[in-house]
Structure 1
């Protein structure tokens, strides 16, 4: 009798272990795994973006999900461009504040208007429709997650200022110009370094 009970217990134990081994991943487990993959992808692009910004450039990352790869990539680029435009606007506002505080032109409506038009011109001419520096995507069980990295050379701000002769003449004599010029040189040095690393590979 004891042998029979032991035999039955052994069979039940084996069945339980087999059931545990063959239990499929739950939706929650899939979600956790997908989230880790997406975070890794996003973090990689964020590190690249931070490096570009630290080197004087302007960069932003966009992320999007869709069942369609084409739509996911398109939305990711759109989100990155939106973020890039906001960063550019903040950058120009910072230059404007520094410039007007130094020159005492904070109440000059024409100067303020020229700064504003510079931001709008760059957004419409340089950012809208621009190509991504890098695109990546990962396919999940149901959707595709795409990431886009967008990058701008800060020199485009100076190039746009040059079109506003009155503004550019005054701006060139300010510390704000020196700050921007320094960032441009740092960014160009960074790009040369990156090109050198790429050529060496």
Structure 2
């Protein structure tokens, strides 16, 4: 009887096709005081390309913040043992308010625009990095909680509110 170990060599094989270009700084989080988000767009005009890439980066920011806030509040709910449907519903309102908020202090990190030849003509392809101050995200979260009076009173009444405040400061 012959036995052998097999390895999955397919997992190590590079996929066929041309690698898609992205700048070396793409999808990095280089500064701990900021959340960096990224957008990319290809348009017929350079200005439109930059604006569309910026809009895509802001959309990514909203999605990132929604996930971050959901995670923080879920952790709070688990630690505090919150099962009240009213509090859970108000939590969702906080998540929506924070993730749809307009952030101040957003900085353009890096940007790269290239002229590319597409089958239907020359286009401008832009990659952009936006930096959102983490303290701005934290401030929006805290304000949204305070604006939901019932949720705020529930949080305030518990030891977990201080824990949530500390968690907000960590992010």
Q: TM-score, normalization: structure 1?
A: 0.58
For the residues of structure 2 that align with 1:132 and 1:67, how far apart are their CA atoms?
26
Contact 1:69 1:144 in 2 (8 A): yes
Where do 5+ consecutive residues of structure 1 fail to align? 1-31, 184-201
SS in 1 for 2:166: helix
Contact 1:64 1:145 in 2 (8 A): yes
Q: Does 1:162 align with 2:142?
A: no
For the residues of structure 1 that align with 2:67 and 2:101, how far apart are their CA atoms?
18
Closer, same or farther: CA 144–91 of 1 in aligned 2, 3 Å: same
Q: Which has the higher strand share?
A: 2
Q: Which has the higher helix share?
A: 1
Closer, same or farther: CA 158–59 of 1 in aligned 2, 3 Å: farther
Where do 5+ consecutive residues of structure 2 fail to align? 1-17, 117-121
For each residue in 1:92-119, what CA deviation from the matched residue of structure 2 results, as whole angstroms up to 9, or x when unmatched? 11112111111211x3222122221122
Aligned-residue Cα RMSD (Å) equals: 2.7
Closer, same or farther: CA 182–139 of 1 in aligned 2, 3 Å: closer
User: 55, 65, 71: which is aligned to 1:78?
Assistant: 55
Q: Over alpha carbons, which structure has the higher Rg?
A: 1
Q: TM-score, normalization: structure 2?
A: 0.67
Regions of 4+ moved over 6 Å: none
